[in-house]
Amino acid sequence: MGTRAVHYVGSFPAESTDAAMRAMLDSTSTQLRTLPTGETRRYEFYIRPIIENLVAQGALESKKPGQWNTSRDRTIYRPAGGKKLTGDMMDLGYLREAEEAVPVFETLRAEREFTGVALQIGMATDFTMAFVAMGAGGVLRNKKAFTDATVRDIVAIRELAGDDVVIQLEATAELVLMAKTQPLHKLVDLALGLGRGIAGVAAASPAGTRFGVHLCLGSMNNKARATLRNVRPFVDLANAIVRHWPTDRTLTYLHAPFAAGDIPPTAKTKFYAPLKGLALGAGTAFYAGLVHESPAEAQQLQTLQVIEQALGRPVDGVATACGLGRRPRRVADALMARANTLAAKG
């Protein structure tokens, strides 16, 4: 087929932003639609460095220490000094990441003369940031502060990069909660406003800003935080996001984390069957996060075919389930090669 894109979620195991962006572009130049920064200052621990920096800034303090060996064994924080947490107290660091990446992106675009590729800046959603930092008990009380800090960075990045940037909202806590409460997950979305909240970040951002959404099941120590019985929670959360999405903000793509080939062939059709109900709007690409190092290429090609049969059309792109940053470089390179192969076959 040869028309599918390759999508990289964001993180990459490299020593610098320049090295990461060049590696991804070298591997997959003609099939990329967005080029991530590589998130090289935070790729090993995702948002933990952001949270620990908020402690250094005096915005948060430890409430329940943890070792961060697992998602359950993480440190839980609270507003420092008993103060009310506000967005003005927090610098999430996304603007600094963009300020470093934009000159690299412009240099690469001049060198390679590529068109139709945007700079991708990944940001955890406000709900995910609040949930990971402050736990279930603190998320609703403090979410607005994270919303305000996130939107402030989006405004500044939009001013810096204009139409050359796509903001990728990364919803880990939202999809994990949906997966863990299946089959009652739609009630959780309704009660907590998960899909509405993701769309709300876009609505609070400047008109014309382009977004992608990465739905994630977590990847601490390369292990998902939850296991899907089937893809229904993903479909229902994606559809909720689309229903609430503001009309003057572009939802460029939606990315789904899928199985790593550990589903028996006889169960794959049933597992992916809910994809027939996925209702993305016109102009929103669907990226299937099925690329993994464990299954053989033939197995992954068969999985791709099952996904596309359930969807009723070819996917717009293929991807890994999460970022490449927590993989050794040789594995990251192999996964990029596998993604290129799968994108071109079918």
Q: Using one digit for the tens of pLDDT, what is the confidence trace for 104-142?
A: 999 999 998 888 899 999 999 999 999 999 998 889 899
User: What does the alpha-carbon distance between residue 171 and residue 180 come to, in Å, rounded to a whole number?
Assistant: 15
Mean local confidence (pLDDT), 164-190: 95
- Which pTM does this prediction carry? 0.94
Q: Quote the CA–CA distance of 191 and 189 in Å, as a whole number.
A: 6
More confident residue, 163 or 219: 163
The CATH number linked to 56 is 3.20.20.210
Give the range of the structural domain holding residue 300, as residue numbers without chain letter.
5-344
pLDDT tens sequence across 201-219: 999 999 999 999 999 987 6
Q: Which of 52, 3, 10, 2 is nearest to 255 (CA)?
A: 10
Look at residue 168 in the predicted model and tell me its pLDDT. Answer: 98
- The pLDDT of residue 8 is 97
Residue 59 sits at φ, ψ, to 5 deg, of: -85, -35
Q: How many domains does the chain have?
A: 1
Q: What is the mean pLDDT of residues 41-52?
A: 78
Dihedrals phi, psi of 36, to nearest 5 degrees: -70, 165
Cβ(119)–Cβ(58) under 8 Å?
A: no
Beta-carbon contacts of 146 under 8 Å, excluding residues fewer than 6 positions away, are: 87, 90, 126, 127, 129, 130
- Helix, coil or strand: residue 255: strand
Which of 202, 268, 265, 197 lies closest to 230, judged by CA? 268
Q: CB of 50 within 8 A of CB of 70? A: no
- Tell the residue number behind the tokens 């000094």, with chain if given: 81
| Banded pLDDT at 220 (limits 50, 70, 90) | low
